[in-house]
Amino acid sequence: MADLPRKRLGMLWRNSETRELRRQPLFTALSWLVLLLLYAPIAVLILFSFNDNRSVVVWTEASLKWYAKALENDDIRNAAWISIRVALTATVISTVIATMAALATTRGGNYCGRAAAIALINQPLMIPEIVTAIATLSFFSILRQLTGITGLGWLILAHTVFCIPFAFIPVRARLADMSETFETAAADLYATPWQTFRHVTLPLLMPGILAGAMLAFVVSLDDVIITLLIAGPGETTLPIYILGQIRRGVTPEVNAVSTILILLTVAMVALTFALQRKRK
């Protein structure tokens, strides 16, 4: 109860700060301009995906024929299947690794090198993706020559590596927000570490794990730069296919496929935020 006045004061301070910010000159106009520049191109793409005309700049009438053609296109279906296989496999592996890393850095106590380990896991987020792609290409080329192994596994491995930090952040945030009271109570009731993890930690951690998995899936599904350099013959993912089609000219069929990707990405991200806010 003693913290209630402090919380109210904090809310009042934040509300007054927001009102003062809105009174700044051109704040509202600049905000709308930024939103327009961000979302107007996406809105145009979605709109012309329903255009009956083949042109992407001349509107005639509404039609769903480009969605039908996209779904009947064997190349698009094959590329989508490869993208889903790579994304799902990379998501599962990266989420498991990220969860173990989060447990080690959050529930492992204070040990030497803990901060360095966290920084090392998050380092791929700060390195330019083109640098990561070139380094991965060089390293995998050496491994391919030494082992003679080819196939989709290299692309899955590359996606797994850069998906780990994206899965790690929500899981670690969830762990940091969880009280250790229930885990301590389970230990006091003679539960083994595995029983405590299975029956206490894992159920409480599951929203963070699911959020990290979906974020990793979206990142893997949408990746272009690393996939473009690592993918071998017959390993064309959906974003790479779209990129190749754009080089020949944008068509409503490409707009339709892009719209489906946008809707899938938005749904996954929205579900991720919903899971992160879930509290039990």
Q: Which domains, and CATH codes, for the chain?
A: 3-48 (no CATH), 66-276 (1.10.3720.10)
Give the DSSP H/E element, type plus range, for residue 118.
helix 114-126
d(Cα 52, Cα 118) in Å, to the nearest integer?
A: 51
Q: What is the pTM of this model?
A: 0.79
Assigned token pair, 23: 């009174």
pLDDT at 70 over 80: yes
Instruction: Give the SS3 label for residue 247.
Output: helix
Q: DSSP 3-state assignment of 51?
A: strand
Contact 152, 82 (CB under 8 A): yes
Q: Which residues pair with 51 in a beta bridge?
A: 62
- Assess contact for 70 and 79: CB atoms under 8 A: no
Structure confidence at residue 112 (pLDDT):
78
The 10s digit of each residue's pLDDT in 180-193 is 888 888 888 888 88
pLDDT digits (tens, 9 = 90+) for 89-126: 999 999 999 999 998 888 776 777 778 888 888 888 88
Contact 257, 242 (CB under 8 A): yes
Give the separation between CA 248 and CA 49, rounded to whole angstroms: 17
Model confidence at 279: pLDDT above 60: no
pLDDT (average), residues 70-95: 90
pLDDT of residue 250: 73
CA 239, CA 246: separation in Å to the nearest integer? 11
CA distance 164 to 122: 9
The residue-averaged pLDDT of 268-275 equals 74
pLDDT at 17 over 60: no
* DSSP H or E segment with residue 167: helix 153-177
pLDDT in tens, 199-228: 888 888 888 898 889 889 989 988 889 998
Burial 265-275 (b: 16+ CB within 10 A, else e): eeebeeebeeb
- Distance separating alpha carbons of residues 184 and 200, to the nearest angstrom: 10
Q: What is the pLDDT of residues 117-161, one digit of tens each?
A: 888 888 888 888 888 889 988 998 898 888 888 888 899 999 999
Residue 180's pLDDT is what?
80
The pLDDT of residue 1 is above 50: no
Q: Residue 223 region, left (φ>0) first, then alpha (ψ -120 to 50), else beta?
A: beta
In 165-211, the DSSP E strands lie at none
CA distances from 184 to 52, 69, 196, 197, 253 (A): 63, 58, 9, 11, 57
Looking at residue 198, its amino acid is R
**pLDDT range class, residue 167, cuts 50, 70, 90:** very high
Backbone angles phi, psi at 51, to 5 degrees: -80, 130
For residue 72, give Cα distances in angstroms to 50, 77, 174, 234. 16, 8, 42, 19
Q: Which pLDDT belongs to residue 280?
A: 47
For residue 56, which phi and psi values (nearest 5 degrees)?
-100, 10
Q: Each residue of 55-75: b (16+ CB within 10 Å) or e? A: ebeeeeeeeeebbeebeeeee
